[in-house]
A = this chain, B = another copy of it.
């Protein structure tokens, strides 16, 4: 048994049990991985994969069990390397932030700017995706931290810190009739609504507010992106419901913002990272800056 063989198992798992692709990922020829896999299986005495002819089709029971331990080992190995780099103050690492459009645009800019000036050598990757997928990215170790509002509740493999509280607002064109009415869920339910896609930026809180009131929401247009929503609000397509932070009094001077804090329960944006993952010091710094930024916004 050696670390390369265990790494191979991980890569095989990732590539859908395709030896050729695994070989490519590991920068060796295909015959090498074939051999190593056989050597390992021979050493253990049992096959780790079910085969159809020569192709690998699935893990055996033993394979499943062993894969869990292999993941532990690969994780720990990674941690050792990151720890050593961190200790050397090797500032050639990378910071991979998985987040949604809204956070990337309104929360992250300042923390990222600060981070950049403090750690100019670190490459920053910003992965934008759906909240659901952000968690997968963490688990698949394709991201170091995830920042989002939805879907980050109970996951015992993650450490989750609340970052800031916010609520939704309604935005309308300046001349919209709604401005003169007393705002209520019922009034809103009568309007065509433009808001976030399901699973994004507090959409669940919006849904919940209306469902609890026995009302049906008429979502004309859903987008992941506050700017898209505002654009279509400007076109007169209806009332936008967006995060309060996404309204800029200067840029959005042509729109009226109506507070919905009393109608729709607030949302909490959280920061998450893998428990078993060693967090290098620069990454810690970023998380702390994020928390500070969140605190400032919450006030």
- Interface residues of chain A, those whose CB is within 8 Å of chain B, are 1-3, 44-46, 61-62, 65-66, 69-70, 72-73, 76-77, 79-81, 83-85, 87-88, 90, 278
Contact = CB atoms under 8 A, between A and B. Distances in A.
Given A72-B76, A80-B66, A88 B46 contact: yes
B87 A62 contact: yes
Query: DSSP majority for the A interface?
Result: helix
Contacts of A62: 83-84, 87
Nearest to A62: B87
B76 A80 contact: no
Given A1-B77, A77-B1, A66 B84 contact: yes
Nearest to A46: B87
Contacts of A278: 69
B3 A1 contact: yes
Contacts of A73: 72-73, 76-77
Pairs of residues from A and B, 10 with the lowest C-beta to C-beta distance, nearest first: A44-B84, A69-B76, A72-B76, A62-B87, A73-B76, A45-B88, A69-B79, A73-B73, A69-B80, A66-B80
Contacts of A3: 1-3
